[in-house]
Amino acid sequence: MGFAYAPQGRPSRFRAARFMSPAMEYISTRGQAPARDFEGVLLAGLAEDGGLFVPRHWPELSPAEWRAMRGLAYPELAARIIGLFAGAGLPLNTLCQDAYAVFGHPAIVPLVQLDQRCFALELFHGPTLAFKDMALQLLGRLFDHVLTKRGERVTIVGATSGDTGSAAIEACRDRAAVDIVILHPEGRTSEVQRRQMTSVLAANVSNIAIKGDFDACQDLVKAMFNDAPFRQEMRLSAVNSINWARIAAQIPYYVAAALALGAPDRPVAFSVPTGNFGNVLAAWAAMRMGLPIAKLIVGSNRNDILARFLAANDMTARPVEPSLSPSMDIQVSSNFERLLFELLGRDGAITAEAMRRFRSEGRMPIPDAAWREATRLFAGFTLDDAGTLAEIRHLHQAAGYLADPHTAVGTAAARALAPEDPAIPVVVAATAHPAKFPDAVERATGLRPPLPARLADLYVREERFSVLADDLGAVEDAVRAHARRNTA
Ligand SMILES: *Cc1c(COP(=O)(O)O)cnc(C)c1O
């Protein structure tokens, strides 16, 4: 028989989300902003109360529903999963087909076996050779579609420690309804990363190097969003990892890997090299939706606030130190707020207070019960630069695999903290192509990985960027001038 209503005892949120409510609603982790629909959170980025948007209800899938997705082509799988969060009305199939057509591998996200139980999930076959393309190629198309439909345009501002910026610029270049301004910390990105941003000369793209670290760049972006008149005037929007749509677009590859390895009939574990906590949060979301995930391993470099939190409930910010994996040189993991909100029983007032204390005192007080809940599923691992080089060397010798330094943090973490049951495979998110960090790979292995043909001339392309102090007024003036040039 069919179900005319959810059976008693376990109301199916999945059924409710799909058939009963016209659109998925999003609420703020700080409890003070109005709810919005998917298009609203896509365009807004940060909520008005400074919080992050999360779904009011998580969709949940049954084992039969997961099984039914086995064998789908990646763009189709992505459209199905993202559709659970987006509601009706967006041409997700077409947008996903277009977004992933630009990738350099026919599988989009190939799984490469490294040893008996460990697999690399290669997320770096997009235009900028890092996993950020997975979400941003789709987001650029979503923005353009929604804005064009509404007859609007926006100015995207973002902070990057390297990879987000180039991926956002590639996603937005030449899109009619979008201007984009990206802040990066001067001298703290790799040359490949900088050139991938600054050599895009499209009129709607502007790059600013800030005299400061990544957290300073991120604080400037947050300050622009908190400047309400400026935010309105510029129609500011974000594509950095606080944007919910990015998290949604990162869930499908965890689903694809788990299904390929036997889920939902066999649990899997994931190891994710982590900076802003966005990528691993997407893996957590897949688990929250019912995918059997035995463990989530969080890999950090020496900037290991998350590992210290998981080991001893010590969430204390320290100064950021440069490492071989610059995209993880972060001490304030913005997406952690979404997990915190869940750990605190979805209480926006308590979440807001914890974030306020963290901001003013540099230390986040987290109740013991919430910390224990986090450690049930998450485990943290720290690897310094020497360990990272040793791991790159080890992977090359043992498996003939060339890994970038971020991926190497993930594979070392996977070996150290794999679940006891040897039947549970561990999937490592391989987040960057080795050619994106050729110096570290060469130091470790003696081999210099070549750039793929489509990027072969990167080192001789013309660059364009300005350098500004860590000063809100100066940055706002530059954003204004850029937007004015393009609408004049
Ligand atoms: C951004 C990035 C990370 C960290 O991802 P988060 O979502 O910020 O945790 C790891 N590796 C690479 C190569 C990245 O570009």
The pLDDT tens digits for 106-164 are 999 999 999 999 999 999 999 999 999 999 999 999 999 999 999 998 999 999 877 78
Does position 25 have pLDDT exceeding 50, yes or no? yes
Taking the centre of ligand 1 as the mean of its atom positions, its distance from the CA of residue 411, in whole angstroms, is 14
Does position 3 have pLDDT exceeding 60, yes or no? no
Band (pLDDT 50/70/90 cuts) for residue 305 is: very high
Asked if 201 and 462 count as a contact pair (C-beta separation under 8 A), the reply is yes
Place of tokens 């659109």: 23
The least confident of 186-190, 236-240, 286-290 is 236-240
Say what the pLDDT of residue 178 is.
94
Band (pLDDT 50/70/90 cuts) for residue 271 is: very high
Q: Is 275 in the pocket of ligand 1 (CB under 6 A)?
A: yes
Q: Is 132 in the active site?
A: yes
Alpha carbon distance 325, 322 (integer Å): 8
Compute CA 316 distance to the chain's CA centroid, rounded to the nearest angstrom. 22
Q: What value does the mean pLDDT take over residues 57-64?
A: 97
Closest ligand 1 atom to Cα of 406:
11
Alpha carbon distance 146, 127 (integer Å): 23
Say what the pLDDT of residue 242 is.
87
Mutate to test the pocket of ligand 1, among 304, 328, 388 (most ligand atoms within 8 A of CB): 328
Q: What is the pLDDT of residues 323-369, one digit of tens each?
A: 999 889 888 889 999 999 999 999 999 999 999 999 999 999 899 99
Closest ligand 1 atom to Cα of 273:
10
Alpha carbon distance 307, 277 (integer Å): 12
The least confident of 16-20, 171-175, 289-293, 322-326 is 16-20
Asked if 156 and 179 count as a contact pair (C-beta separation under 8 A), the reply is yes
Three-state DSSP class for 21? coil
Taking the centre of ligand 1 as the mean of its atom positions, its distance from the CA of residue 151, in whole angstroms, is 33
Alpha carbon distance 346, 154 (integer Å): 31
Closest ligand 1 atom to Cα of 162:
15
Compute CA 478 distance to the chain's CA centroid, rounded to the nearest angstrom. 27
Q: What is the DSSP letter of 189?
A: S
Say what the pLDDT of residue 372 is.
97
Say what the pLDDT of residue 482 is.
92
What pTM was estimated for this model as a whole? Answer: 0.90
Q: What is the DSSP letter of 386?
A: H
Which residues make Cβ contacts (< 8 Å) with residue 393, sequence separation at least 6? 444, 445
Say what the pLDDT of residue 8 is.
36
Mean confidence (pLDDT) of the chain? 92
Q: Which residue has the higher pLDDT, 46 or 84?
A: 84
Say what the pLDDT of residue 488 is.
56
Both tokens assigned to 78: 């992505």
Q: Is 279 in the pocket of ligand 1 (CB under 6 A)?
A: yes
Does position 386 have pLDDT exceeding 50, yes or no? yes
Q: Is 303 in the pocket of ligand 1 (CB under 6 A)?
A: no
For residue 344, the tally of other CB atoms under 10 A from its CB is: 20
Mutate to test the pocket of ligand 1, among 274, 277, 323, 383 (most ligand atoms within 8 A of CB): 274
Q: What value does the mean pLDDT take over residues 247-263?
A: 98
Does position 20 have pLDDT exceeding 70, yes or no? no
Alpha carbon distance 116, 326 (integer Å): 30
The amino acid at residue 230 is F
Does position 448 have pLDDT exceeding 70, yes or no? yes
Band (pLDDT 50/70/90 cuts) for residue 16 is: very low
For the chain, the first-to-last Cα distance in angstroms comes to 62
Taking the centre of ligand 1 as the mean of its atom positions, its distance from the CA of residue 107, in whole angstroms, is 21
Phi/psi region, residue 10 (left: phi>0; alpha: psi -120 to 50; beta: rest), is: beta
